[in-house]
């Protein structure tokens, strides 16, 4: 077996969960690296058995007799692509209830198993679910990022490395899928095209029956063109011709397949009038760039397209890091009724907040922090820090507890 080129920083959390939880599920987009993670980087006993439901033989056996299938294997048992047999979750529940001990079952799935029919109620209190996204910039470089933890410290997470716009855009169009990142631009484009078709035809159709599946490719391209913007179903309906009621269901299916992710609005201040619409981001910036036909040169020259793609890229890097951060955090965006916005709000479990603005310019001035000041005023003592991530080289103070940092601080800061 050829070993993975990349260490996945979620592996320690998966191993820790197996130490105290009967069932652990690692979920995420197809080809994000879940199977490689559980087979090569998670601490499992040598007696553990690995079964994939991509193999038609065990797939048919599990569908025909879920309880008999589960009972025929010793534990620990690793089940790859478990969402392909929804009935297996009830069988696992019954097995766990008969003999409850940690680390019995390790599952992977290319769909959000907690929202699949008959799953959430089956394994409530028995299963921990961890999400593996495509590779982060730190995973690509072999260096664990700690930005999410450091922004809540007293010191600034200062970047040591400056990158040109072309280099940063190169990161965006490359994305993070392990099979895509090592390819040249032409071969990567072919991979993305095949990937999107396969996921839409297979993964989404296995989650739910779809009468007009031919509408999904256009919808995904339209969503890619709006990555990093507010989720406006009326606009998307007009652009795709898909009825609003159907569109709501389709967008949910794309989320369940980990092709897109909602960034919910921060609504933690009851005294302020806040917009509650989520933003939508593509889970992989490379796939998004491919779907809108954008290459490195095009993104670098188009400031509007560049801004949305890089903002979505930054948001997803923070989502990825939150998976292994010591701090338990949630990622939001902020918009008040008068129109004041902050691109990203990180809220820690203790309700402390860090606001982040993303600017794709090499210079910065005080006005770029207006949204952060509004957030600070709205949240008072909960506001820990505001950051403007930009294309410049220097750390620049912009006001009390507000600074500008180079974007590479996300993955290369001390």
Sign (positive or negative) of CA dihedral 250, 252, 257, 261? positive
Query: Is it the case that residue 2 has pLDDT exceeding 50?
Result: no
Looking at the fold, whether 225 and 194 belong to one and the same domain comes out as yes
For 186, the enclosing helix (H) or strand (E) is: helix 185-198
The whole-angstrom distance between residue 394's C-alpha and the CA centroid of its chain comes to: 29
1 part of a folded domain: no
6 part of a folded domain: no
CATH of the domain at 53: 3.40.50.300
Return the pLDDT at 282.
97
Looking at the fold, whether 109 and 37 belong to one and the same domain comes out as yes
Return the pLDDT at 159.
62
- In a 3-state reduction of DSSP, which class is residue 304? helix
Domain boundary among 131, 164, 184: 131
DSSP 311-326: HHHHHHHHHHHHTT-S
Q: Average pLDDT for residues 105-117, to the nearest whole number?
A: 83
Return the pLDDT at 40.
92
What percentage of the chain reaches a pLDDT higher than 70? 95
Alpha carbon distances (Å) from 232 to 229, 270, 292, 345: 9, 24, 18, 20
Q: Could you tell me the two tokens for 179?
A: 């099979």
Q: Count Cβ neighbours within 10 Å for each residue of 228-260 and write b for 16 or more, e otherwise.
A: bbbbeeeebbebbebeeebbeebbbbbbbbbbb
Query: Is it the case that residue 55 has pLDDT exceeding 80?
Result: yes
Cα(293)–Cα(408) distance, integer angstroms: 25
Cα(131)–Cα(258) distance, integer angstroms: 10
345 part of a folded domain: yes
Per the document, the length of the chain is 414
Residues contacting residue 56 through CB under 8 Å, at least 6 positions apart: none
Average pLDDT in the chain: 91
Residue whose C-alpha is closest to residue 233's, from 266, 277, 273, 203? 277
Residues contacting residue 369 through CB under 8 Å, at least 6 positions apart: 357, 386, 388, 398, 399, 402, 404
Which pLDDT tens digit goes with each residue over 18-43? Answer: 999 999 999 999 999 999 999 999 98
Return the pLDDT at 157.
73
Which pLDDT tens digit goes with each residue over 163-216? Answer: 888 999 999 999 999 999 999 999 999 999 999 999 998 878 777 777 777 899
343 part of a folded domain: yes
Domain boundary among 131, 149, 174: 131
Cα(316)–Cα(303) distance, integer angstroms: 20
Cα(383)–Cα(355) distance, integer angstroms: 8
Return the pLDDT at 1.
44
Query: Is it the case that residue 407 has pLDDT exceeding 60?
Result: yes
Looking at the fold, whether 101 and 149 belong to one and the same domain comes out as no
Looking at the fold, whether 217 and 303 belong to one and the same domain comes out as yes
Q: How much of the chain is in helix, strand and coil states, percent to nearest 5? A: 45, 20, 40
Looking at the fold, whether 204 and 289 belong to one and the same domain comes out as yes
Beta-strand relationship, 329-335 and 260-263: unpaired
Looking at the fold, whether 170 and 31 belong to one and the same domain comes out as no
Residue whose C-alpha is closest to residue 25's, from 153, 126, 121? 126
Return the pLDDT at 158.
72
Looking at the fold, whether 320 and 256 belong to one and the same domain comes out as yes
Q: Could you tell me the two tokens for 393?
A: 């080289």
For 378, the enclosing helix (H) or strand (E) is: helix 370-379
Return the pLDDT at 413.
63
230 part of a folded domain: yes
Looking at the fold, whether 104 and 247 belong to one and the same domain comes out as no
225 part of a folded domain: yes
Q: Could you tell me the two tokens for 5?
A: 């080129």
Higher pLDDT pick, 360 / 273: 360
Q: Average pLDDT for residues 256-275, to the nearest whole number?
A: 82
Cα(412)–Cα(215) distance, integer angstroms: 41
125 part of a folded domain: yes
Looking at the fold, whether 224 and 330 belong to one and the same domain comes out as yes
Looking at the fold, whether 125 and 142 belong to one and the same domain comes out as no
Residue whose C-alpha is closest to residue 257's, from 203, 312, 179? 203
Looking at the fold, whether 195 and 116 belong to one and the same domain comes out as no
- In a 3-state reduction of DSSP, which class is residue 414? coil
Q: Average pLDDT for residues 62-70, to the nearest whole number?
A: 98
Backbone phi, psi, residue 151, to 5°: -70, -20
Largest CA distance in the chain: 66
Return the pLDDT at 160.
61
The model's confidence at residue 120, banded by pLDDT at 50, 70 and 90, is low
Return the pLDDT at 118.
63
Cα(305)–Cα(288) distance, integer angstroms: 11
User: Which residue reads 């280099």 in tokens?
Assistant: 167
Domain boundary among 84, 111, 131: 131
Return the pLDDT at 300.
73
120 part of a folded domain: yes
- In a 3-state reduction of DSSP, which class is residue 402? strand
Backbone phi, psi, residue 288, to 5°: -60, -45
Which pLDDT tens digit goes with each residue over 335-348? Answer: 987 778 999 999 99
Structural domain boundaries enclosing 94: 11-131
Query: Is it the case that residue 414 has pLDDT exceeding 60?
Result: no
Q: Average pLDDT for residues 265-276, to the nearest whole number?
A: 72
Domain count, the chain: 2
Cα(369)–Cα(377) distance, integer angstroms: 12
- In a 3-state reduction of DSSP, which class is residue 362? coil
Looking at the fold, whether 264 and 389 belong to one and the same domain comes out as yes
Which has the minimum average pLDDT: 20-34, 78-92, 300-314? 300-314
What percentage of the chain reaches a pLDDT higher than 90? 75
Alpha carbon distances (Å) from 191 to 6, 140, 195: 19, 19, 6
């Amino acid at each position: 077996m050829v070993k993975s080129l990349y260490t996945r920083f979620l592996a320690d959390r998966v191993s820790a969960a197996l130490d105290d939880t009967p069932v652990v599920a690692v979920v995420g987009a197809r080809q994000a690296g879940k199977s490689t993670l559980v087979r090569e980087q998670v601490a499992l006993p040598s007696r553990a058995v690995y079964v994939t439901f991509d193999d038609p033989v065990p797939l048919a056996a599990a569908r025909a007799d879920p309880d008999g299938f589960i009972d025929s294997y010793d534990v620990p048992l690793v089940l790859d692509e478990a969402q392909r047999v929804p009935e297996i979750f009830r069988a696992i529940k019954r097995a766990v209830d008969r003999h409850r001990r940690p680390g019995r079952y390790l599952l992977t799935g290319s769909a959000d198993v907690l929202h699949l029919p008959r799953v959430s109620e089956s394994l409530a209190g028995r299963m921990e679910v961890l999400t593996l996204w495509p590779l982060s910039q730190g995973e690509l470089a072999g260096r664990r990022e700690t930005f999410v933890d450091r922004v809540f410290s007293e010191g600034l997470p200062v970047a040591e490395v400056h990158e040109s716009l072309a280099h940063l855009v190169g990161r965006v169009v490359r994305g993070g899928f392990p099979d895509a990142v090592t390819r040249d631009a032409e071969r990567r484009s072919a991979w993305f095209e095949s990937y999107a078709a396969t996921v839409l035809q297979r993964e989404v159709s296995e989650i739910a029956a779809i009468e007009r599946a031919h509408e999904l490719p256009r919808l995904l391209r339209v969503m890619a063109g709006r990555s990093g913007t507010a989720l406006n179903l009326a606009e998307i309906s007009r652009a795709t011709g898909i009825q609003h009621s159907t569109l709501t269901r389709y967008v949910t299916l794309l989320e369940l397949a980990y092709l897109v992710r909602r960034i919910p609005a921060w609504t933690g201040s009851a005294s302020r009038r806040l917009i509650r619409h989520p933003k939508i981001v593509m889970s992989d910036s490379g796939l998004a760039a491919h779907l809108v036909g954008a290459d490195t040169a095009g993104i670098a020259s188009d400031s509007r397209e560049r801004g949305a793609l890089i903002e979505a890229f930054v948001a997803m890097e923070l989502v990825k890091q939150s998976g292994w951060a010591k701090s338990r955090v949630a990622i939001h965006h902020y918009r008040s009724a008068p129109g004041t916005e902050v691109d990203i709000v990180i809220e820690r479990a203790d309700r402390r907040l860090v606001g982040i603005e993303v600017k794709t310019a090499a210079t910065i001035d005080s006005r770029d922090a207006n949204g952060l000041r509004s957030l600070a005023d709205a949240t008072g003592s909960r506001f820990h820090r505001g950051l403007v991530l930009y294309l410049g080289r220097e750390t620049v103070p912009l006001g009390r507890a507000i600074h500008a940092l180079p974007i590479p601080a996300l993955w290369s800061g001390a």
